[in-house]
Every structure is written in C-alpha cells, then in structure tokens.
Amino acid sequence: MKDLSMKELTTIALLGALILISGSFKIPSPIAGGEFQLSAPIAVLICACFGFKRYIIAGILASMLGMMLGMHNIINVLVQMVFRVVAGGTMALLGTNLLTVAVSGPLGTFAARLV
C-alpha cells in the first residue's frame, strides 16, 4: 500500500467520525432491528464525493470505533458492511451520475435488510 499523506489520513479520519456520529441517530421502526440510520444518505454522498476507496476505509474505521465504544455489535457491523459494499460498489461500477447515486442507497438498504 502506498504511503498516505497527512491530508489523506485526516480526511479519512474525519469521514469515519462523520459516519459514526451520524449512524448514532436512528429513525425507529416497529420491527426490531429495522431502524433507519441517518448515516445511509450521508454515506452515499461521501462515496460519491470522495470515492469508493476513501469511503470503504472510513466505513471500516467507523465500524471499528463503534465496536470499541460499545455502540455496535458484530451483527450491526455485518449489516453496515453489506450496505457499504452494495451501495459503494454500485457507484464504483456504474459511476457517480445522479441516477446511480439515487439508486445505490436503496439497493444497499435492501441488501442490508436481507441480511
């Protein structure tokens, strides 16, 4: 892996913190485990603006921090990673045009709900 600059490390750390903090705000659901995290739309925009590589690294960092702080368990992290791979992968494969950005979030959410 090539050496990351200080700017790159800081950007990824701030994006990870933004994902972690926005993930703590949830819209409740009558179905257990079905709540909607407000980090989903923010995560899609982060992927569109900063690219898949930065997004997935920041997402892994946010998941690790969430587990260390006791906010998440392994099931939460599994669901989050499925969302990140599907939503981010959609944008990585199809580009970041408006239609892809609009569709990738619901696709990621659908795949995460299946898990």
Distance CA 53, CA 47 (A): 8
pLDDT confidence of residue 24: 82
User: Which pTM value belongs to this model?
Assistant: 0.85
Q: Is residue 29 included in any domain, yes or no?
A: no
Segments of the chain with pLDDT less than 70: 1-2, 32-35
- 3 state DSSP class of 16: helix
pLDDT confidence of residue 14: 94
State the residue range of the domain holding 61: 6-22+37-114
Instruction: List the structure tokens of 66.
Output: 């969430």
Task: Judge whether 12 and 61 are in contact, CB under 8 Å.
Answer: yes
Q: Considering its fold, how many domains does the chain have in total?
A: 1
Q: Is residue 46 included in any domain, yes or no?
A: yes
